[in-house]
Amino acid sequence: MENRLSSVLLAAALLSGCGWFHRGEKAPPQVVAEEPPGEPSVIEPQVNRREVKTPKIKAKDFEIGGYFGALSIQDFGVNPLYGVRAAYHVSEDIFLEGYLARSKAGTTSLEDVFPDITVVSESGRRFTYYDLDVGYNVLPGEIFLGRGRAFNSALYVTVGLGDVKFADKDQFALNFGVGERLLITDWLAMHLDVRNHVFETDLTGRTKNVDNIEATLGLTAFY
Amino acid sequence: MRQLLALVLLLQAFHGGLAHATERYLEVLVTQPYLEMHSGPGRGYPVVYVVGRDELVTVLYSRTDWYKVRAPRGQEGWVRREDLARTTLASGEPAPIPPYPDFSSHRWEAGAGYGVYNRQNLVTAYGDFGITNSIDVEFVVQQALGTLDNRYITSIGLRHTFVPEWKWFSPTAGIGTAFQYIEDKAPPAPLQKSNQMAYVSLGARGFITRRFMWRADWRHYVVFNDQNVNEELEEWKIGLAVFF
């Protein structure tokens, strides 16, 4: 008995639910076409308009990657260098770039001849820099490899400023350089760079501007 | 076991990435007599393929003012923004090629430059958000490198551009608060290593090309300290910025 009662209640609930749904449903809009008399009526398609989303175009103006090479620290020999770089390409000609790199200085000739003398402490031999640069693609072009392959490339110049930390001191440094970007694919690039970091120092007794030239090879990805 | 789980997760992520890579691209209809495709994203690169009228091309991505597209038969190349803007969607609407941001009403800005802060060389970088066309919030991070000390300065402030419509030269003025940290290099040591500061600024900005602009700024800081008299500092700087 109880079972039957519950099934009746359930049926009632279902029916009322259906009723509710029907009430909720909007009546299809009545299209009243004004037809000239005598012509056959055109069937109005009752198809909902599909919402078409136009896909967005991805901008790949950023370039990020790493580099390594040799840094000639004036008076301290040539030493390995490695760093990271990130660039934003503003136009086909101009880009803004930031660098962060580290190297470790060797010994001066004085220290080599007289091993008792230390010009810079061990922790001070660490050479780190950051740079903020603006670059200009001077010679864009293509590089050909054999008959069937062409790679897009650009020779660019950069100029910028930043901080060099050497001998436990931060110094304001200017840098300028020239580089070649070779696009292996449209998103992967190889870089060859030569840059000079110039700053003022009094490490070797008198205050002078030192040139620290680096030659590096880098790999970057556009995204 | 944990390594296996990590591998599975990595593979899953890779798979997700692959699935993501097969996303839908924008397709546009060439309505001009032809659409030229260059071999690279630059004005000097030769035209390597030409798509005829009423053909659909797939827009893959953009780099600066160039768009990488794929022709119906699979050839890929780079199309200039102006040329792609003349295409339409299949529905006949103009292709959604974003125009350059308007200089007088741009929202975001980021830049860097050189300056002099308290007679020290200054490296400066900043970000800027426009609340209205004439009022911006600017956030600045800078490093001053001197012979006696190095200073790290961060600041946040409001800037007013007097006539944002003036394209090549428009004066600005601002106020804000700043914080400086002094890193001692040579004696005597500073009395206080860090200070709260307040500043007023006068400056100017101007349009250079496309999304590029220049900015120059002079600031007068009041440095709050423990002494009886507050220190006062001056700074000027000039920089390049990109706006979005």
Q: Does B42 touch chain A (CB under 8 A)?
A: yes
What DSSP designation does A25 have?
S
What number is the average pLDDT over the span A163-187?
92
CATH number for the domain formed by residue range(s) B19-99: 2.30.30.40
Q: How far is A38 from chain B (nearest CA, A)?
A: 34
Residue A11 has a pLDDT of 59
Give me the pLDDT at residue A58, please: 87
Tens digits of per-residue pLDDT, B22-46? Answer: 568 888 989 999 999 999 999 999 9
Q: What is the pLDDT of residue A36?
A: 57
Give the pLDDT mean for A112-139: 90
Distance CA B125, CA B143 (A): 9
Question: Which chain A residues touch B243 with a CB distance below 8 Å?
Answer: none
Inter-CA distances, A106 with A68, A109, A153, A165, Å: 17, 10, 35, 15
Q: Which residues of A touch B150 (CB under 8 A)?
A: 170
* Residue with more model confidence, A218 or A29: A218
**At residue B8, does pLDDT exceed 70?**
no
Q: What is the CATH number of domain B103-243?
A: 2.40.160.20
CATH architecture of A62-222: Beta Barrel (2.40)
Q: How far is B58 from A4, CA to CA, in rounded Å?
A: 64
pLDDT, average across residues B82-109: 86
Q: Please tell me if residue B150 touches chain A, with a CB cutoff of 8 Å.
A: yes
- B201 has a pLDDT exceeding 70: yes
Mean pLDDT of A80-105: 93
Arithmetic mean of pLDDT, A71-80: 92
- Do the beta carbons of residue A199 and residue A162 sit within 8 Å? no
Going by pLDDT thresholds of 50, 70 and 90, the confidence category of residue B197 is: very high
Q: Whose CA is closest to A167, among A100, A120, A108?
A: A120
Interchain contact, A90 vs B211, CB within 8 Å: yes
pLDDT of residue A30: 53
Which of A72 and B229 is assigned the larger pLDDT? A72
The answer to whether residue B191 scores a pLDDT higher than 90 is no
First-to-final CA distance of chain B: 48
Query: What pLDDT shows up at residue A95?
Result: 92
pLDDT of residue A141 exceeding 80, the answer is yes
Whether A85 has a pLDDT exceeding 60, the answer reads: yes
List the single residue in B with minimal CA-CA distance to A222: B63
pLDDT surpassing 70 at residue A114: yes
Contact criterion met (CB < 8 Å) for B89 and A152: no
CA-nearest residue to A153 within chain B is B40
Question: Across the interface, do A140 and B26 touch by the CB < 8 Å criterion?
Answer: no
Average pLDDT of the residues in A104-133: 88
Chain B residue numbers with beta carbons less than 8 Å from the beta carbon of A169 are 185
Judged against a pLDDT cut of 90, whether residue B18 lies above it is answered with no
pLDDT number for residue A23: 47
How far out from the chain centre does Cα A118 lie? 41
Residues of chain A above pLDDT 90, percent = 50
ipTM computed for the complex: 0.82
Contacts of B242 in chain A (CB under 8 A): 88, 90, 96
Segments making up each domain of chain B, as ranges: 19-99, 103-243
Q: What is the pLDDT of residue A110?
A: 84
- B209 at the A interface (CB within 8 A)? yes
**A58 vs B242: CB contact, 8 Å cut-off?**
no
Which residues on chain A place their C-beta less than 8 Å from a C-beta of chain B?
Answer: 52, 54-61, 88-92, 94, 96, 132, 134, 137, 140-142, 150, 152, 154, 161-163, 169-172, 183, 186, 222
The mean per-residue pLDDT over the stretch B7-36 comes to 67
Q: pLDDT-derived band of residue B52, with 50, 70 and 90 as boundaries?
A: very high
pLDDT for the residue numbered A22? 47
Q: Where are the beta strands (DSSP E) in A60-167?
A: 62-72, 78-89, 94-104, 126-145, 149-166
**B24·A58 Cβ contact <8 A:** no
Q: Which residue has the higher pLDDT, A52 or A214?
A: A214
Residue B17: other Cβ atoms inside 10 A: 9
Ordered by start, the domain boundaries in chain A are: 62-222
Question: Which pLDDT value is given to residue B5?
Answer: 55
- pLDDT of A13 over the 60 cut: no
**Pick the residue with more confidence: A91 or A218?**
A218
**Over chain B, what is the mean pLDDT?**
87
Torsions phi, psi for A120 (to 5 deg): -130, 140
For residue range B138-175, list pLDDT tens digits in order: 999 999 998 888 999 999 999 999 999 898 999 999 99
B2, pLDDT greater than 50? yes
Q: Which residue of B has its CA nearest to A162?
A: B123
CA dihedral A144, A145, A151, A152 (to 10 degrees): -30
Q: Which residues of A fall within a CB distance of 8 Å from B61?
A: 57-60
- A63: chain B residues, CB-CB within 8 Å: none
* pLDDT score, position A116: 85
- State the residue for tokens 């600005």: B172
The alpha-carbon gap from B46 to the nearest alpha carbon of chain A, in Å, equals: 10
Does pLDDT of A26 surpass 50?
no
